[in-house]
Amino acid sequence: MNNEQLWQAVLGEIEVNLSRANFITWFKDTFISSFEQNKVIVGVPNAFAKKWLEEKYHKSILGALEKISHQKISEIQYRVELKRDASSRQPINNYSFSNNQPANLETTPSATPESRIDGQKTNSCGLNTRYLFENFVVGKGNELAYAACKAVVDRPGEIYNPLFIYGGVGLGKTHLLQAVGNDLLKKTSKILYTTSEKFMNNYVQAVHGGRAKEFKSVYRNVDLLLVDDVQFMGGKDGTQEEFFHTFNELLQDNKQIVLTSDRPPKLIPAVEKRLTSRFESGMVVDVGKPDVETKMAILEKKANEKNFPLDREVLSYVAGCIQNNVRELEGALNKIIASHQLNKVEPSIKSVKNILSDILANAQPKNTTPKDIIEAVVKYYGITNKDLLGEGRKKELVWPRQVAIYLMREELNTSYPTIGEELGGRDHTTAMHAYNKISNELKKENEKLKQELDSIKQLLD
Ligand code: ADP
Ligand code: MG
């Protein structure tokens, strides 16, 4: 048996005890990188998977390896490595890992009742009945988040708790979050969907109205708590305190919590450390922008749902034009459908081009200024204008300053002297230095920084 066959057998062993979603999340693109004298090195695709295999699946892997190889294994190391020579290993197909397929096809009904797709109804748990797994298109950018949500539905409160999903606007976070809720309604009605702002308002009102106890009992007696947009939790101390305790109590009772945010836990401004570390204590996954194929699949699905099928040429054209997020994609599709229905014409590239050029032209005229950038940066990092423009040398201030400089240069092509001027009368060499520093970081593939820049740019829209 070579390493490849051995690993296939090990995967087969492990798969039996895992849900499909989990299995795909953690074992996709893993392989045996080397096996020498009882020591095994398992190649994994990223640091995230490495951590989880080490922490959660080491025992199962070890057990399976020993069982199948009929020998004692003294050590397993997990190492981030790309599979070499992928063509000659084709094991993965045996398990039909695929980027574009939902992980749990067998549970996906072939058709979703019309009323549930079009109705904007919200049920008593605060869930919109339209947000379901069945109408969520899985592709690059969201497959990990999707799989994690599916895993939560399979075993709520057991494995990924809390589950923290983050990513830019319009990428499907709320959809996924509510899909978890809608799906778990099959098992329990004690589900609560809220946003961090609603949580805060309710809490403040309850305290003022002498109903704090009632508030606590509502939030602490659920089986599933879904909190959307926790990036707005920052700063509100009393609320944070309450949230923290709610959190602890639910986790202690193995009740499932799922959270979303536009950024990773550490980057949420003005949130207490203990809360950040709670956010991070389960599983953190991101959703990214869809690639062209995923965008096409989403468009196709939505067009069909609306009984207005479009041909591939048109789908591909629209997917190519709309860059940022799924919400814009939906907006464009709605306009296309409305316009064609109104004018009673068949969609063609030409007619679609006309409509899109309107949308794209309307998207243009935002005239961003250096002040807008300052405003966005300040908001993002949770600091004040004075902090940013002042003399403070603390890292929490210097970094946002450098980011602001970078963005002014990169987005607006502002001259270094003007940048210096805008940032509280600094020297142009300071601006130059900061720009170079951030550029160099980006060259090092600093993912965290990329994410920060993306989020700030979204605040400019
Ligand atoms: P976010 O909460 O990340 O800002 P939403 O969940 O509100 O984004 O998504 C915006 C819109 O795009 C919603 O109507 C949602 O149904 C749709 N959407 C996003 N991602 C997908 C997807 N992968 N498949 C189908 N619809 C999607
Ligand atoms: Mg949302």
Does one domain contain both 281 and 164? yes
Does one domain contain both 165 and 270? yes
**Could you tell me if residue 304 is inside a domain?**
yes
In the listed set 314, 334, 362, which residue is the last one of a domain according to the structure?
362
Does one domain contain both 130 and 194? yes
Does one domain contain both 193 and 283? yes
- Nearest Cα to 260, choosing from 233, 242, 236? 233
Does one domain contain both 378 and 431? yes
Does one domain contain both 145 and 211? yes
Domain span at residue 357 reads: 292-362
In angstroms, the first-to-last Cα distance of the chain is: 57
Q: What percentage of the chain exceeds 70 in pLDDT?
A: 90
Q: What is the pLDDT of residues 401-435, one digit of tens each?
A: 999 999 999 888 888 889 999 999 999 999 999 99
Which of the four pLDDT bands, split at 50, 70 and 90, describes residue 21?
Answer: low
- Kindly report the three-state secondary structure assignment for every residue of 415-445: CHHHHHHHCCCCCHHHHHHHHHHHHHHHHCC
Rounded Cα distance between 320 and 295, Å, is 8
Q: What is the pLDDT of residues 45-80, one digit of tens each?
A: 777 778 788 888 899 999 999 999 999 999 999 998
Average pLDDT estimate for 287-309: 93
**Could you tell me if residue 100 is inside a domain?**
no
Q: What is the pLDDT of residues 214-245, one digit of tens each?
A: 999 999 999 999 999 998 887 777 888 999 99
- What's the CA-to-centroid distance between 250 and ligand 1, angstroms? 28
CATH code where residue 413 lies? 1.10.1750.10
Burial of 276 (0-12, 13-18, 19+ CB in 10 A): middle
Q: Is 413 helix (H, G, I), strand (E, B) or coil?
A: coil
Which of 116, 133, 175, 328 is the pocket-test mutation for ligand 1 (most atoms within 8 Å of CB)? 175
Q: Would you state the torsion angle of the CA atoms of residues 202, 208, 214, 215, taken in this order, to the nearest 10 degrees?
A: 30
**Could you tell me if residue 126 is inside a domain?**
yes
In the listed set 334, 362, 390, which residue is the last one of a domain according to the structure?
362
Does one domain contain both 357 and 415? no
β-bridge mates for residue 284, sequence order: 164
DSSP letter at 265 equals G
CATH code where residue 138 lies? 3.40.50.300
The reply to whether ligand 1 has any atom less than 6 angstroms from the CB of 142 is: yes
| Count of structural domains, the chain | 4
Q: Contact, 121 vs 129, CB < 8 A?
A: yes
Nearest residue (by CA) to ligand 1, atom 21, is: 172
In the listed set 62, 84, 106, which residue is the last one of a domain according to the structure?
84
- What's the CA-to-centroid distance between 122 and ligand 2, angstroms? 15
Does one domain contain both 278 and 413? no
Does one domain contain both 37 and 174? no
Q: Contact, 279 vs 164, CB < 8 A?
A: yes
pTM of the model: 0.63
In sequence order, what are the residues at sequence separation of 6 or more whose Cβ sits closer than 8 angstroms to the Cβ of residue 243?
196, 199, 233, 275
Amino acid 103: pLDDT: 30
